[in-house]
Amino acid sequence: MNKIEDDKKRIAKIMEILEKEYPNVKSDLINTSPFQLLIATILSAQCTDKRVNMVTPKLFSEYPTAKELANAENEDVEEIIFSTGFYKNKAKNIISCSNYLLENHSGEVPSTMEELVKLPGVGRKTANCVLGNYFEPEGIVVDTHVIRITNLLGFVKTRNAEAIERYLMKIIDKKYWVNSTHYFIRLGRAVCIARRPKCSECKIKQYCNNYKENMKL
DNA sequence: CTCCCGATAT
DNA sequence: ATATCAGGAG
């Protein structure tokens, strides 16, 4: 009857199942500080976490904090992060981002959405990621997996990340705001794969509109 | 909306 | 060959 109330119950069940399936989830991006997670997340745009983790050990070894990265040469950074793609934009962003942190936040990463999205190369997705892992979440990370899976499940019918985030914040219990994204990412990589979803192996197929409409009957 | 862009699986 | 990967800026 009431879609929101119905969706609240359905996603609560889904969270319960995925929590059992993927216990102790956390970010797969290698990092030892908010600054490093921020940089790694900027690098992760349209790129796999595995690939980002191949370049960040060298990057963070040479430029461990905003202080070092702010004074880095553009070409040196480009060479290290080249394989992550969009390397010119990403190099420019993480260097000017480091400069901004030095000038405005003593080199530390701010802990609010309002301040984070002012950083060059940082939008709501990256900001939510840093907030959720190191501070208090102000929203829900909506990445490519969350967009695809929430549409397939039937919670939303849009590719607009902000619209999806607003709706998920209405229906997901706040205790799952951080982990729900991790669950969808794990499910998206292993089971609900973009090119070919493995619905037969899916633990939440009984709660999935796409499965009910296309796979059954 | 387009552009940025390399690595990988299919 | 083509779609996809923890997106963001103009």
Q: What pLDDT shows up at residue A97?
A: 98
Q: Span A34-134: which CATH code?
A: 1.10.340.30
Residue–nucleotide distance: A108 CA to C8 C1' (Å): 22
Nearest partner of A143 among A174, A182, A175, A112, judged by Cα: A182
- Ranges of each domain in chain A: 3-25+144-215, 34-134
Distance of A2 CA from C9 C1′ (whole Å): 38
Considering only CA atoms, name the residue closest to the C1' of nucleotide B7.
A83
Cβ contact A161:A142 at 8 Å: yes
State pLDDT tens for residues A47-95.
Answer: 999 999 999 999 999 999 999 999 999 999 999 999 999 999 999 999 9
Q: Which of A151, A172, A216, A210 is nearest to A14 (CA)?
A: A172
- pTM of the full structure: 0.95
Residue A94 near residue A15 (C-beta atoms within 8 A): no
Q: pLDDT tens-digit profile of A25-51?
A: 999 999 999 999 999 999 999 999 999
Q: CA–CA separation, A100 vs A106, rounded Å? A: 9
Architecture per CATH, domain A3-25+144-215, reads as: Orthogonal Bundle (1.10)
Structure tokens at A27: 């970010």
Measured CA to C1', what is the nucleotide nearest A195? C3
Per-residue pLDDT of A107-134, as tens digits, reads 999 999 999 999 999 999 999 999 999 9
For chain A, state the CA radius of gyration.
Answer: 18
